[in-house]
Structures are given as C-alpha cells and as structure tokens.
Chain A
C-alpha cells in the first residue's frame, strides 16, 4: 500500500500552485512551508555553508537551527521551514551568508 501523508490526514486538495527552485518548478500545497514544498519534490539542500561550501537544508524543522536558510524572492537568510510558500515564489540556493553582492 503506497500510503502518503496527504492520504493519512484525508487531504482533499492536491498541490495547486508552483514555486521555483533555481530553474526547476516545484509543486506546492496551500499552507505548506517553502521547506515542506522542497522536501515534497525530493529536494533536501538549498544552502551552502560559509567556509566549507557544504550543502544544507531543513534539520530541526521548527525554526531553531537556522540550517534551512534560503534566498526567497531575492531576500537571503529566510527560514524556509517557517516561511509559507506562495504562488510564484522564487527560491534559490543561498551561498554562504547570502550577501555576496555586498562584497
């Protein structure tokens, strides 16, 4: 039985809008966080660390660890596990502190 979380809670609506991650469209459900939409598409990393350049994504899932920081609609350092997804949101991998343009 290929059960899904949405089946389990009896969700009547499917993904109804899209956001983009890089150049990739990602389906999202109303009420989902950006991190949840990305996990739903099998994407687990959307940040690289400041010194090692290593990939990171959501870890604590409740806004405490700040590992899920992403650049959302041009704004860096947003906690993707807390920020709700909105139609047309543009999410890109945040590199380092996310302020490279400041030099």
Chain B
C-alpha cells in the first residue's frame, strides 16, 4: 500500500479507481491489485473502513477498537491485505464527479478533512468501482430539528470514531435492524437507553423463512444484539413511533405513540419518556449520485429506496463502471465484502482478457445471492408504512437546510399542483440546500405523491447531482482541461 495524499510516483493512468474504502471498496481494491492491476483507492475520510468499520484515529490510543464492532476480523483481514498490496490509498479525497474522457474515466476530487483544502485532483482509470456506501434515511416528525435529536447512524458514527455520546439517556427510534445495533453500542458505552421505538413489527421476517434459514450468521447477530439489550434492560417496543420531541433549546422528553399496521397513530396512545437525546433513523439509502449522473439504470428496493441495477458480475448498465456493497441495495458488510471481490475478479478478467476463476466466482455468487435474499426480506419488513405523514404538524420542518415546513410542501402540492419532489423543490426550496435533499428527499417524494394520486408511496426519483459534494470555485478554476466538468450543470 502506498498511503499518501499525493503519491510521488502515482501513475498517470490506473487500471482501476475504487471510490470508497469501506468493506466493498477495500475488498475490490485488494482483489484487483493481487491480480496485477494498478489501483487507486479514494475515500473522503483519511481513515479506511467506511461507516461500518469506522474507528477511533490511532492518536486516540484505543486498545480495543473492536469493542464497538461486529465482525472486526473481516476488517483487519482486509486491512492486512491492503497493507501488503501496491494499492495507492488516497485518503481525504472527496469525489465530486466521474466523467468519461476519451474512452477513459476521470475521477474528480477535492481534498481535505471536509473538502476545504481546495486542491483539485483528477485520477484517470480504465475502470471504476463505485463503493460509495449509504446514508441514513430520515422521516420528519414534530421536533426533529431540536438539538439532541441525532441520526441513529450518526450517534453510532460519533461514538465509533469520536468516543462520545449525544446524551446520558438516549431513546433510539425509527425503523430497521440498525436501531438494535445502535442501542446495544450506546448502552455498552455507558448511555442509559430507556427504549428502542420500532415502527414496524418484527413479525415481517417470519414471512421469509428460507432467507432466514440460509443466513444463520444474521440470526447470531440478532441474538448478540438481543442479549446486549436484555443485559442493559433496554425495551424493544414495536409498532410505535416518536411523534413529538419536547424541549426549548434541547431535548427534554419525547412522546411515543402506538401505530397501526400502516403506521397511522392510534389515538390517545401517546406516552412521554424523559430523555436528553433521541437517535433516530429509517434504514439506509444507497449513495448513488455519481452513478445516476452518468445515467446508470436504477431499481426500487423492497423498502422503497433507489439502488443501482447490476449484472451478475457487479457491472452497472454503463460499461466499465462497476458497483459493490450498498449502492446495489443495502445489505451489510459481509455482502459488501463478497460483492467487492466479485467486482475485483470481473474487472481483472475484463482488463487482462483472461477468464476469472470459475469455481471461486460461483461460490461468491451463491453467497451474494443468499445474503441479497435476506437483505430483501429485511427491507420488506421495515418498509415505511403509508400513514407516517399523519405524524406531521403544519409547522414541522420537512427540509432541515432550507427550513421548509410541512404546510409549505402541502401547499405546493394541493394549491400549485406539484406531483413530484423536483417540482416541490422548485416551488418551496425543499431539497435545494446544502445536503441536496439527502435528508428530506424521501419525505418530500412521499408527500408529493400522496396528495395527487391513490399511489401510497411512490418510488423516489433517482436524484441527479452533477456535483456530488460542494466544490469551491477555485478548485474548478484550477482544472487544466477546457471542459472537464460534467455536461449537465443545473442552476439549483
């Protein structure tokens, strides 16, 4: 491995550029490198591991980073292979665009902890592997902008790398299996977790007995979390939701209400729980903006997120552009590892012109398909119910960046005729701010669809973000090509 922000001997052209150094990216990069390809591995973070294996910086002196993780040996195995490889690791590189230039890929990035160093970097490669992971899906509710309300994945991330908690008494809420892992971590790290508030029932899993039976490690994982929750006296309450947050400048309590099967409130069921923080999230959404901007085909997952369509070798609908892990549908670290290896093998076979090892490929494909089946079952069990917009008050902010209220979004739909998130954005600015709709997109899409048609929850339109991250004008100006930027540049 050549870990450097600017390798002095970096080749002008790599065989493969891998975007994202989480499980999928690490696996793809080391597999391809071990087969003789020259590989650049880019990640926004200076550290490898992505979100799942996020860990304290070495300077923290943590002797047991594995205490906050499952499957830590999966990460240490990949790390060892990376260290022994010739992969050029480009940490602190925020990729903002991938474009086709004369039959090759150009990957554009800005550098620095938060992309603020304003140094523009372009990496050219014959193939690109997108291993960009996911971010947490949020649904708004009254009080969710109050300090002390944090993403469930956000609380986990801040704990894993920063060794801090958002409060001493933290309610965990939303939907999805991540909530159990977050509650277990927070409790193990010293927080009191009075309850996990899950909007779905866990009975949904029973409808997929084959997917469960074929994935025994998932049951083990559930048992480990379940055991931790019992030990810390954390109550799991299904078919409930946080429907209000109390406090003036920070969280003082939440109201938890019972839900029916469609996630509509059961009147009069509200109950107050005292807490000083709330960790909330509704599953993960694939991070695919670099791909959709290139026109890659997408599909709607069983929990109504948008993921990339991939062939059996992990290639997207755009030739020489591959994806592994969450961009193809959220499925966790082990699946990401398998898909990364499959992609690495297929890319090496394409570029070197020799066939991939059939036996290994078949075994990996079997493991991938089994884990994908489980991921689909899990997604179906936690798909948002149609009744959640009923939790909203008129003044609840739907778009956190632009402070756009429910009332404004509904007015855009009922009075101005908006029928999709994009039109709502043009009328109200919802989704036009810093996060580019990553936090409010799911909710706005749903509110726009619900008013206009009988369709309960439309699939979100794949967002095109020609700039995947904010890019300083100075960085754009420093590019030497006359026309290096993407073809489509919008003004919003």
Contacts and interface: CB of A to CB of B under 8 A. Distances in A.
A82 B114 contact: yes
Contacts, number: 167
B162 A33 contact: yes
Contacts of B65: 9
Nearest to A28: B162
Contacts of A29: 59-60, 163
B114 A36 contact: no
A51 B428 CA distance: 14
B372 interface: no
Interface string B242-269: 0000000110000000000000000000
A3 B145 CA distance: 29
A49 B404 CA distance: 12
B63 A11 contact: yes
B434 A66 contact: yes
B61 interface: yes
Given A31-B57, A60-B135, A83-B113, A9 B157 contact: no
A10 to B, nearest CB: 3
A39 B164 contact: yes
A15 to B, nearest CB: 10
Interface in A1-35: 2-13, 29-33, 35
A84 B189 contact: no
A61 B249 contact: no
B250 A44 contact: yes
Contacts of B116: 75, 78, 83
Interface in B136-195: 136, 145, 147-151, 153-159, 161-166, 188-190
Contacts of B435: 64-67
Nearest to B46: A84
Contact of A60 (B64, B136, B164, B433): B136
B57 to A, nearest CB: 3
Nearest to A64: B135
Nearest to A40: B164
B465 interface: no
B190 A2 contact: yes
A79 B114 contact: yes
B400 interface: yes
B165 A5 contact: yes
Interface string B437-450: 01100000000000
Nearest to B438: A64
Contacts of B58: 31
B403 interface: yes
Given A10-B63, A45-B250, A50-B403, A82 B150 contact: no
Contacts of B471: none
B62 interface: yes
A69 B163 contact: no
Nearest to B62: A9
Contacts of A39: 158, 162, 164-166
Given A9-B68, A59-B400, A30 B57 contact: yes
A61 B113 contact: no
A54 interface: yes
A4 B189 contact: yes
Query: What are the 9 A-B residue pairs with the smallest beta carbon separation, nearest first?
Result: A36-B162, A31-B57, A61-B154, A10-B63, A66-B434, A30-B59, A31-B59, A61-B157, A44-B147
Given A8-B190, A78-B116, 13 more contacts: A5-B68, A5-B163, A36-B164, A40-B163, A44-B147, A52-B403, A54-B403, A58-B158, A60-B154, A65-B434, A65-B439, A82-B44, A83-B114
